[in-house]
Amino acid sequence: MTSRRMEGYRLGIDVGGTFTDIVLIGDDGSVRSYKEPSTPHDPSLAVQVGIAGMLDRVGLAAEQISLVVHGTTIGLNTIIQRRGARTALVVSSGNRDILEIARLEIANPFDMYGSKETPLIPRNLVFEVSARTRVDGTVEGAFCRREIDDIAEQLREQGIGSVAVVLLNSYRHPEMEEKIAQALRDSCPQVMVSQSARLWPEMREYERAMITVLNAYIHPQMAGYFRLLAERLRSIALTAPVYITTNNGGTIGIETARNRPIDTILSGPASGVVASCAVAASCGLPDFMSVDIGGTSSDMSLTVGGKPEYSTRSFVGDFPLILPVVNVSAIGAGGGSVVWIDDHGILKVGPRSAGAFPGPICYGRGGSETTVTDCYLVLEIVPHDFLGGRMTLDRAAAVRALAELGGRLGFSGAQAAERAAEAALKVATAKMATEVHRGAAERGLDIRDFVLVALGGAGPTHATLLAEETGIRTVLVPTSPGTLCAMGAVLSDLKRDYVRSIRRPLVPEVAQFFAGQAATIEAEARTWLAQDHLPGIETIPNWKAEMRYADEGIGLTVELPRTAVEAIDLHAIAQAFHVEHERIYGFREMEATIEIMTLHGQFVGSFPDSGISAPSASAAPPQSSTCRDIFEDGNWSRAEVFAREGLVPGAVVKGPAIVEQEDTTTWIRRGWHAEAQPSGIMRIERD
């Protein structure tokens, strides 16, 4: 694939729960970043204000922007907080309890009093249709227009804004589902209809139903957001094409995202991993752990060999998601996470967050709950002037709140607030480390062999604390870590996944059927590209298949050689499975029958090269801008404070020290030292 440069400027946007991050890449490869407090009541407002602020800062006109790539967690937050549309579900006769029955699994076998997650759709809003499609495609019971009219009437009476249609065997025979969905669209044009065979035609009825229900649940809100976003961008004369980042670390056009919001719910963390790969690669470190600590959560991902790890078995809350996503685990421990004491007197951090409004106590917006950010401020780790001086933090208010909390923990005297703050940070660090060790153990990895890439507004602030707890010896801090997810959005390729269920033995007789399914996927990809791609972008298909030996209950996802799929070389496909099975389980069964369950096709197209350049640096040695006392390990100690832009390549900073920049603060603890790299990355090592 040939590389070419794109003319004009690019904007990367990441809308988080606390801040909206914006990155501008110039046509000369220069990078500028900007943070704007999020506006939860109207997230598009912060985008508009932030872009206007960025353009004003650099002296650009909106017409000079050639591309906008936008990531958001609005869909994810809508599901977690259960603020979605009033949604109904249409199923085949006898399947009305599909959401309640699920997989009949107990979330925690050691908790005899545990309850299952309440379905997003109550049972009285689940409607049955009598027509059923058998696995061989024959229809049992005719399509009944009166049934559809009755359902449509109830949708109107119940004030339903969105409906999911999930029929038995529609992953293989979608005709009946398509007919019923279209009839509902005709009868209720004000209701948004999501159908499973269009979204993700893969076997496993419950998981396919959950994808469709989740899509329907957030569909009205996300469609409204994208519509309002487009209006706000037009109001500031920004007419560049808008792309939306996706769960798989890629991007899709805004029209596709409006129709398939399920593809965007985990897009923010995925963009962070994409950008972290570029950061680690520039230092020649293919194995790393990225930790994105934002206002609400800490998102962690392990990368081996320089490529993001994908999963088709993830969860949104307690709801399964079988779409391919970048494998990220998240816990409720971010800068805005609330510090509290439970009924037993135990100090806890998160998962509840103070958000952007009212936010931490030190924001001075009426917040009354102590947060991790308040702890950083009380310890004098972060400066009193925030966001480059655009926000002033109230340390006195944070001290009063933490002194009261410290008293309840048994701390007294002049350092009660500081000791409580330090204790809270230790609790948050322990939560993060537990998740890190669990993820590494599941993969059979030793976390001490990895480096830590710190991103997010609080990532560099907390990085050396977490590294000490986990045994990691090297930390990388990107040039603009607080806006790295927005940078990842700009770096992401066009990318979309497709699936077809095959569920047949891998024998010569299946070759024609396999070829037909692959051709169907390619045809759908061409239709998508005609709608979403920029002129001149080439695309490459990457193929995978879920396969298993006939006697096994669990399949393996195997990467297939592109030539094997194009030539329908079943022998090469079988060999790829044998090799992967031996790698995972230590043996292969050459005489056993192989079953191919599903075929996955991922189509990738790269935007023209952004030409990002390393930041320029002056020839002067690093100068400490000031010194201040910070509370570290139970005592006040003197720390030098550096401006990040003053660290020239080769400059070494020994802890305890603070490195400040507009989008974050890096805390270099005692026993660590940092060195500025030619790329602008700061590499922190144990002494």
Domain assignment present for residue 115? The answer is yes
pLDDT at residue 639, rounded to an integer: 95
Helix segments in 317-458, DSSP class H: 372-378, 395-409, 416-442
* Domain identity same for 28 and 102: no
The whole-number pLDDT of residue 351 equals: 85
Q: Is 333 part of any domain?
A: no
On whether residue 618 sits in a domain, the answer given is: no
More confident: 177 or 7: 177
Residue 405: the pLDDT is 95
286 pLDDT exceeds 70? yes
List, for residues 421-438, the tens digit of each pLDDT value.
999 999 999 999 999 998
Per-residue confidence (pLDDT) for residue 616, from 0 to 100:
45
Q: What is the mean pLDDT of residues 549-560?
A: 90
Answer with the residue of higher pLDDT: 593 or 1.
Answer: 593
**pLDDT > 70: what percent of the chain?**
95
Residue 619 has pLDDT above 70, yes or no: no
Q: Do 207 and 104 sit in the same domain of this protein?
A: yes
Per-residue pLDDT, 433: 94
pLDDT, mean of residues 528-539:
76
Rg (CA), the chain: 26
**What is the pTM assigned to this prediction?**
0.86
Does one domain contain both 598 and 680?
no
More confident residue, 620 or 195: 195
145 shares a domain with 207: yes
Q: 496 pLDDT exceeds 60?
A: yes
Please tell me the predicted confidence (pLDDT) of residue 460: 95
Say yes or no to pLDDT of 4 above 50: no
In this model, does residue 514 exceed pLDDT 60?
A: yes
CATH code (residue 93): 3.40.50
Q: Provide the token pair at 355.
A: 């958000």
* 116 part of a folded domain: yes
- 312, pLDDT greater than 90: no
- Specify whether 628 is located in the same domain as 577: no
Write the CATH number for 49: 3.30.420.40
Average pLDDT over residues 88-107: 89
Q: What percent of the chain has pLDDT over 90?
A: 64
pLDDT given for residue 621 in this prediction: 53
C-alpha angle 191-192-194 in degrees, rounded to nearest 5? 135
pLDDT at residue 3, rounded to an integer: 45
Q: Give the pLDDT mean for 188-217.
A: 95
pLDDT digits (tens, 9 = 90+) for 375-411: 999 999 999 987 777 789 999 999 999 999 999 999 9
Question: Sorting pLDDT into bands at 50, 70 and 90, what band is 162?
Answer: very high
Mean of pLDDT values over 64-71: 92
Whether 317 maps to a domain, the answer reads no
Q: Residue 575 pLDDT > 50, yes or no? A: yes
CATH number of the domain bearing residue 570: 3.30.1490
Q: What is the DSSP letter of 98?
A: H
Element (H, E) at 502: strand 494-505
Please state the rounded mean pLDDT for residues 440-448: 89
Q: Give the closest residue to 227 by CA, choosing from 490, 66, 73, 43.
A: 43
Q: Are residues 53 and 146 in the same domain?
A: no
- Give the CA diameter of the chain: 81
Residue 69 to residue 249: CA distance in whole angstroms: 12
89 and 202, same domain (yes or no) = yes
Distance CA 399, CA 217 (A): 42
- The band of 609, judged by pLDDT with boundaries at 50, 70 and 90, is low
Residues 34 and 70 grouped into a single domain: yes
In a domain, 313, yes or no: no
Q: Decide if 461 contacts 475 (C-beta within 8 A).
A: no
288-305 average pLDDT score: 89
Q: What's the pLDDT at 140? A: 87
- Give the lowest-confidence range in 98-112, 202-216, 501-515, 608-622: 608-622
Q: Which of 194-203, 320-329, 429-438, 650-659 comes out lowest in average pLDDT?
A: 320-329
Q: Which domain holds residue 530?
A: 494-605
Mark whether 238 and 212 lie in a shared domain. Answer: no
pLDDT of residue 529: 85
Assess whether pLDDT exceeds 90 at residue 451.
yes
565 with 679, same domain: the answer is no
7, pLDDT greater than 80 = no
Residue 418 sits at the vertex; the CA angle it makes with 417 and 420, to the nearest 5 degrees, is 65
Mean pLDDT of the chain: 90
Residue at 314 is within a domain: no
The answer to whether residue 281 is domain-embedded is no
Do 196 and 164 lie in one domain? The reply is yes
Asked, as a colleague might, if the bond just before 358 is cis with ω within 30 of 0, I would say yes
The pLDDT tens digits of the residues spanning 111-146 come to 777 677 789 999 999 999 998 899 888 988 888 899
For residue 610, the model assigns a pLDDT of: 60
155-159, 229-233, 251-255, 442-446: least confident range: 442-446
Domains of the chain: total? 4
CA-to-CA distance for 388 and 630, rounded, in angstroms?
Answer: 20
pLDDT value of residue 449: 92
**Pick the residue with more confidence: 251 or 107?**
251
- pLDDT value of position 623: 57
Which tokens in the block code for residue 244?
Answer: 């939306």
Q: How many Cα neighbours within 13 Å face the side chain of 540?
A: 9
